C-alpha cells in the first residue's frame, strides 16, 4: 500500500527486523514518502507491461475510490528490479523479484489504480510476470 516502505523502514536502525524483512523478503528499500502528487505511472520493464505505457492511480479519494495521498518510492535490491516509475520524477514506484519465489511490491495501493478494467489488466500483468 501507500505506506509499505515508510511503515516498515522510517526511523529504524540497521539490523531491525522490519528492515531485514523489507530488504530480504520484499526485496526493496524505502527511498521516500510523498513520492508523487500526480498519480501517473510509467512502465520501465517490457517483461511486465509494454515499455513506457502509462497507468493512473487515484491520489484524491472519492465516495467510490480510495485515494493514495502519500505513495512511497521504493528501490530495487537483493536481485529485484524496478518495473514502474512515477512519471513526474522517475522515482521507482514498483519492484519485482522472481527466482524460487515471486514478489511484487508497489509504493501505492493496488486498489487505487483506475479505471477498474486497467486494474484488472495490471493484475494480469503481475500474474504473468510471477508465474513460472
Q: Mind listing the pLDDT tens digit for each residue in 70-124?
A: 999 999 999 999 999 999 999 999 999 999 899 999 999 999 999 999 999 999 9
Q: What is the pLDDT of residues 78-90, one digit of tens each?
A: 999 999 999 999 9
Residues in contact with 127: Cβ distance below 8 Å, sequence separation at least 6, in sequence order: none
**Rounded to two decimals, what is the model's pTM?**
0.93
The domain spans of the chain are 4-130
Of 57, 36, 45, give the one whose Cα is nearest residue 96. Answer: 45
Q: In whole angstroms, give the CA distance from residue 83 to residue 51.
A: 9
Place of cell 486497467: 118
Q: Are 101 and 95 in contact (CB under 8 A)?
A: no
**1 pLDDT band (50/70/90 cuts)?**
low
Beta carbons within 10 angstroms of residue 49's beta carbon: 22
- Structure confidence by residue, pLDDT tens digits, 8-61: 999 999 999 999 999 999 999 999 999 999 999 999 999 999 999 999 999 988
Amino acid at each position: 500500500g501507500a505506506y509499505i516502505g515508510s511503515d516498515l523502514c522510517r526511523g529504524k536502525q540497521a539490523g531491525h527486523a522490519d528492515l531485514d524483512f523489507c530488504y530480504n523478503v520484499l526485496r526493496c528499500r524505502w527511498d521516500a514518502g510523498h513520492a508523487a502528487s500526480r498519480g501517473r505511472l510509467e512502465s520501465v520493464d517490457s517483461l511486465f507491461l509494454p515499455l513506457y505505457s502509462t497507468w493512473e492511480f487515484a491520489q484524491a479519494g472519492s465516495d467510490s475510490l480510495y485515494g493514495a495521498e502519500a505513495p512511497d518510492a521504493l528501490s530495487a535490491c537483493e536481485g529485484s528490479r524496478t518495473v514502474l516509475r512515477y512519471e513526474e520524477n522517475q522515482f521507482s514506484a514498483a519492484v519485482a523479484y522472481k527466482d524460487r519465489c515471486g514478489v511484487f511490491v508497489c509504493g501505492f495501493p493496488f486498489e487505487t489504480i483506475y479505471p477498474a478494467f486497467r486494474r484488472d489488466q495490471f493484475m494480469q500483468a503481475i500474474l504473468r510476470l510471477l508465474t513460472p
